[in-house]
Amino acid sequence: MEFGLWQVWEAGWVTAILRGASITILVGLASMAAGLVIGIVCGLIKWARIFPLSLLVDAYTSLVRGVPELLIIYLLFFSSVEFVTKVVTAFGYAGVAESGYAFVIAVIAIGAISGAYSTEVVRGALGAIPDGHIEAARALGLSGARIFRRIVAPQMLRIAVPGINNVWQTTIKDTALVSVVGLQELMRISFIGANSTRHPFIFYLIAAVVYLAITLVSQGGFDGIERLLRLRTRKTV
C-alpha cells in the first residue's frame, strides 16, 4: 500500500503536526525570552566585570557552550526536574505541574542554553559601544541608571540584533531536542507518527519542511527589523 500525503491528512496527523509546531514555537519564544533575560543580566555582569559574579557567569557560559545540548537536557530530565516540579507545586500550581511539566523542563533547558549564547551577544554588543559616549554622558552629569537607559541600552539593542537573530535560529532548532524527554512538540509528534504508521520518511520530511518554514519566516522578520533600525540610524546621522 502506498502511503502518501493524503493518508497523513486523513488520519488526522496534519492537525497533530500543526499543534506540535505551535508548541515548538511557544517553547522557542518562552526559552528565548528566558534566555534574553539571562543574557542581559549575565552580559552586564561580564561587561562590567563584577568580580565574583563574573567568574560564575564565565563558568556557566563555557560549560553550556562546550557541552552538548542533549547531555544538558538529559541532566535536567533525569534529575533536577525534581526540583522544578517541587518548586512549581510549592507555589500552589499543582495543576500546571501536571500538564505543563514537560514544557517547564523544556523552557528551563533551552532557556539556559540560549541564555549562555545571548550572554556573549549582549557582552559583545556592550563592548562595541564607544567608551566616549559613556564618558560624555558622565561628563554631562547623567546618573548611572539614566546613562544605561538613554545611552547604553538603545545602542546595545541595535548592535545585538544580528547576534540575537543567530541565537533565535539556534534556539528554535534546539527545541527539537526536548522531544527526547517527551514534550509533544513538532519533533515528538513526527516521531510518534513515524513509529505508529511505520512511515518515517514522510513524517520526518514534513517535520523538516515545517522547521524550515519557521526559520525562513523568522529570518524574514529579523531582516525587516534590521532594515528598520538601519533606516533610523541613517536618518539621525
Partner 1 sequence: MIDLIQLAVPVLLKGLWVTAALTFISVLIGFNLGLGLALMRLSSSWLLSGFAKYYSTVFRGTPLLVQIFLFYYGLGQLSLIKDNAALWWVISDGSRCAVLALALNTAAYTSEIMRGGLMSVPAGLIEAAQACGMSRVLRFRRIEFPLAIRQALPAYGNELILVVKGTSLASTITVLEITGYAKRLMSQTFAIFEIFAIAGILYLVINLVLIAVIRSIERFLMRMRRDPAMGRAPRARTNP
Partner 2 sequence: MKLKVLTLLACLAGSMGSALAAEGELSIGTEGAYPPWSMSDANGNVTGFDADVGALLCTKLAVTCHFVVQAFDGLIPALKAKRFDVIISGMSITADRKKEINFSVGYAELANMFVAAKGSDLAAITDVDTLLKSLDGKKVGVQAGTTHAHFLEKRAPNADLKTYDTLDQMQIDLASGRIDTAFADQSALQDFLDKPDGKNFQLVGVEIKSTFDPTLGEGIGVGIAQDNTELKAKIDKALCELIADGSVGKASQKWFKTDISRPCK
Residue ranges binding partner 2 (CB under 8 A): 12, 16, 77-83, 85-87, 89-90, 94, 97-98, 101, 180-182, 195-196, 198, 200
How far is Cα 85 from Cα 105, in angstroms, rounded to an integer?
9
Taking CB within 5 to 8 Å according to partner kind, which of partner 2, partner 1, none is near residue 160?
Answer: none
Nearer to partner 2, 115 or 125 (CB): 115
Minimum gap (Å) between residue 65 Cβ and partner 2: 18
Rounded Cα gap, residues 81 and 72, in angstroms: 12
Nearer to partner 2, 161 or 194 (CB): 194
Instruction: Give min distance, CB of 199 to partner 2, in A.
Output: 10
**Cβ neighbours of residue 136 closer than 8 Å, sequence gap 6 or more:** none
For residue 106, give the amino acid letter.
Answer: A
Which string of b and e fits 13-39 if b means at least 16 CB within 10 Å? beebbeebbebbbebbebbbebbbebb
Nearer CB in complex with partner 2: 78/133? 78
Grid cell 545585538 in the structure block, residue: 160
Alpha-carbon distance 16 to 153, whole Å?
41
Q: What are the φ and ψ backbone dihedral angles of 71, each rounded to 5 degrees? A: -65, -40
Minimum distance between the CB of residue 200 and partner 2, rounded to whole angstroms?
A: 7
Residue 11 or 208: the one with the smaller Cβ distance to partner 1 is 208
- Grid cell in block for residue 63: 560549560
What's the min distance (Å) between Cβ of 68 and partner 1?
3
DSSP one-letter code for 128: T
Which residues are at the interface with partner 1 (CB under 8 A)?
62-63, 65-71, 74-75, 78-79, 169, 173-177, 179-180, 187, 190-191, 194, 198-205, 207-208, 211-212, 215-216, 219
Least distance (Å) from partner 2 to the CB of residue 228?
Answer: 40
23 binds, among partner 2, partner 1, none (CB under 5 to 8 A by kind): none
Q: Cα-Cα-Cα-Cα dihedral of 129, 134, 135, 139, to 10°?
A: 160
Partner from partner 1, partner 2, none contacting 68, C-beta within 5 to 8 A by type? partner 1
